[in-house]
Amino acid sequence: MRPEPSSAYLTGLQIRALVRVGNIYLPGNAEFLSFEELGCVEHVDGVVAHADAADLRMLRILLTALWFLPRSLLGKIVGLGLRAFHEDFPLAATFRELDYGLNGLAKTLYFSGRKGSTCPEPDPLELMGYSPKVE
């Protein structure tokens, strides 16, 4: 069993909720690891440390609430967020914002080039042969 990452900004429950959400957006396949398998959530502090205090507070509340939802309902909420970009329905704007935040956080961590300390597999950037450089 993988050790639970710690965070200066999120509780263990909130981290586990982020992993659940990350696994819905990035479930993995034969080539790529899932969000959880990659272990990139260990680096969440590097991303949320720069968040506005009010946004971070709302993220904490959201992740806490999402933790208590059954996976099927969590999947439907994520699906509504994705659907909101293509259809107009009541609360579509709210679901788009939800998707921007959760999907953005999960994908920022996943494609950061940083993986968990116990993950021996190549990260997604290595698998794609992509190595960005800043000069």
pLDDT at 28: 95
| pLDDT tier at 5, thresholds 50, 70, 90 | confident
Q: In the chain, what percentage of residues exceed pLDDT 70?
A: 98
Which pLDDT tens digit goes with each residue over 95-128? 999 999 999 999 999 999 999 999 999 999 999 9
Three-state SS string over the chain comes to: CCCCCCCCCCCHHHHHHHHHHHHHHCCCCCCCCCHHHHCHHHHHHHHHCCCCHHHHHHHHHHHHHHHCCCHHHHHHHHHHHHHCCCCCCCCHHHHHHHHHHHHHHHHHHHCCCCCCCCCCCCCHHHHHCCCCCCC
pLDDT at 31: 94
Q: What pTM, to 2 d.p., does this model score?
A: 0.92
pLDDT at 128: 93
pLDDT at 135: 81
| pLDDT tier at 4, thresholds 50, 70, 90 | confident
| pLDDT tier at 67, thresholds 50, 70, 90 | very high
| pLDDT tier at 57, thresholds 50, 70, 90 | very high
pLDDT at 2: 61
